[in-house]
Amino acid sequence: MQNPLFSLLRFPNAVIAGAGVALGHLCLLEPIDVGNLILGVLSLAVLAMAGNVQNDFYDRDTDAVNRPDRAIAAGVISPEAARGLSILLYVASVSLGLGISLAHGILVVGMAFLLGAYNKTLKGMPLAGNLAVALLCAFSLYFAEYPGWPYYTLLPSLFAFVTTMAREIIKDIEDIPGDEAAGMETLPIRYGVGIAKRWLWGFLLATLVLLPWGFWVFPNGMAYGVVVVIAVLPTLGMVGSMVARRDPVWGGAQRWMKWVMLAGMAAVGAGVV
């Protein structure tokens, strides 16, 4: 059985958030400030964990239907303990951001408010919750270049945004039973699965449109292209094939979408190393 605390914090998601910061540093194509890199990785990884715990606190009734094995829904960890832990993690995340600069600390505060708004309100609104999560993922890559304008991190941030939007829409469709029971009005609930699928196909197409730009943007365009061909396109194709079925396998599509995101990060890394 999985450790309840590990399940609550969702370490793999936190690692991905921290990896986004590291990848953003690589995209700058300049000597890395190791101290700022470590603080940035830890700050956004801890922020992701804070949001995961808070999300499970607010979603405990929905999870009783959609994911009854989660720690709070299963009664393994009390809601009060989870709420206290999320507050501590939010404070730790902002503190780590302030260790880089005041500007980064302010950015983490803004991201924390956006994450909190998502957990409490936005996730139950059509597209609003999806946009919030996609922006947070994009900011993790832009974090290294902040407070300057996104230039070196622009394409990776856009890739993170569109792939996250696709995955979030898939998750909304997958979670319809529990979300309906909780009174949420996500995109597929408000407008139907058909409309949600159109939005999903739009973001999958946007991913395909963005992919070729890496050949010209990244210094190692050939290495980038190799990873795109052997990893990104096949995983993206798996998602498309699952979504195109008459009775789509939404759980499988959601998992494969995560592999698309990881493969995209690997492609960007190959293009800038």
Q: What's the mean pLDDT when you consider all of the chain?
A: 93
Q: Which residue has the higher pLDDT, 184 or 45?
A: 45
Give residue 64's pLDDT: 72
Is the pLDDT at 57 greater than 90, yes or no? Answer: no
> Residue range 214-229: average pLDDT?
96
**Contact yes or no for 9/49 (Cβ under 8 A):** yes
CA proximity to 264, closest of 150, 196, 166 = 166
Tokens in use for 101?
């600069």
Cβ atoms of residues 200 and 166 within 8 Å: yes
Q: What is the pLDDT of residues 116-136, one digit of tens each?
A: 999 999 998 999 999 999 999
**For residue 73, is pLDDT > 90?**
no
Please compute the mean of the pLDDT values over residues 31-46 and round it to a whole number. Answer: 96
pLDDT for residue 178 is more than 90: no
Rounded Cα distance, 41 and 47, in Å: 10
pLDDT at 215: 95
Q: Does the pLDDT at position 16 exceed 70? A: yes
Residues 195-201 have a mean pLDDT of 97
Confidence of residue 2 (pLDDT cuts 50, 70, 90): low
1 has a pLDDT exceeding 70? no
Quick one: pLDDT band at residue 179, thresholds 50, 70, 90? confident
Give Rg (Cα) of the chain.
18
Range with the lowest mean pLDDT among 171-180, 206-215, 257-266?
Answer: 171-180
pLDDT band at residue 146 using 50, 70 and 90 as cut-offs: very high
Residues 6+ apart with CB under 8 A from 151: 145
**Which range is least confidently modeled, 49-63, 178-192, 217-231?**
49-63
Average pLDDT value for residue range 216-231: 97
